[in-house]
Amino acid sequence: MGLMAKIMGKPMLDVKEINVRYGPIQALKSVSISVKESEIVTVVGANGAGKSSLLRAIAGTVKESKGSINFEGKNVNNLSAAARVKSGLTLVPEGRQIFVSMTVEENLLIGAYSQTGTQVKSSVESIFDRFKNLANRRHQLASVLSGGEQQMLAIGRAMVAKPKLMMLDEPSLGLSPILVKQLFDLIKELNSQGISILIVEQNTKLALKAAKRGYVLELGTVRQQGSATELSKDKDLAKAYLGETA
């Protein structure tokens, strides 16, 4: 982001009043959210609240029917998903969506498809340097990885694309408490290296602990928003969403 934008405090990602529908189902109704540079922002809410639809619309894998999505001051509504990745916007999708019939290395290479030869090699090697478990299995099929390793591979694939903003959809799903802790440590580390983070979680408590600000989605609309500290103290919210994880 340019210096002026920084000084003006303009958001890096600015989503304004978007609607998303799947046939008769309206998944998002006039949803607005923003992420500033270097922020960790979380979107929480119950099953079916529209969290995944919001990330998919930002990533460009579903089309909004109304509203605008601006990234670094540019409107991206009409950019393809691939072009959005190239501009620095990447999604680690729910359920990881790695290619189990391809090797670990091939999965990482997919994340680097918009780069040229030598860049690709160094991007992939930097992931192997960081994740030794993945390096040891680089030529094995991704299907042999544990759930936690598959999540690291999905994040590694997103990192290879050199994101400015990384979106993560329910990354803690199915991971043991130890792996969840490692995952959130990794997210904070990526953030400290300058990557902005937008994270969707059902594990509200954890997400609010890591984030600076949060939004609560309910039935496709933003019901509440505020600083993560404020939201985590909110009694109604605790009752509605912090139940099992509180």
The tokens for 182 are 């490692």
Helix and strand counts by DSSP (H, E) for the chain: 11, 10
Q: Choose the binding region for ligand ATP from 6-14, 48-56, 70-78, 119-127 (rule: CB under 6 A).
A: 48-56
82 binds ligand ATP (CB under 6 A): no
- Candidates 18, 27, 89, 166; binder of ligand ATP (CB under 6 A) is 27
52 binds ligand ATP (CB under 6 A): yes
Residue 186 has, within 13 A of its CA and on its CB side, a CA count of 23
244 binds ligand ATP (CB under 6 A): no
47 binds ligand ATP (CB under 6 A): yes
Measured at the CA of 194, the angle between CA 191 and CA 200, to 5 degrees, comes to: 40
Nearer to ligand ATP, 50 or 60 (CB): 50
- Candidates 51, 96, 137, 213; binder of ligand ATP (CB under 6 A) is 51
Nearer to ligand ATP, 67 or 102 (CB): 67
Q: In angstroms, rounded to a whole number, what is the distance separating the alpha carbons of residues 71 and 84?
A: 9
The tokens for 47 are 């099953």
Q: Which of 30, 8, 34 lies closest to 18 in space, CA to CA?
A: 30
25 binds ligand ATP (CB under 6 A): yes
Radius of gyration of the chain (CA): 18
172 binds ligand ATP (CB under 6 A): no
Nearer to ligand ATP, 36 or 56 (CB): 56
Quick note: the x/- pattern for ligand ATP over 123-142, rule CB under 6 A, is --------------------
Per the document, the length of the chain is 246
Q: In angstroms, rounded to a whole number, what is the distance separating the alpha carbons of residues 32 and 77?
A: 14
Q: Which stretches of the chain bind ligand ATP, using CB under 6 A?
A: 22, 25, 27, 45, 47-53
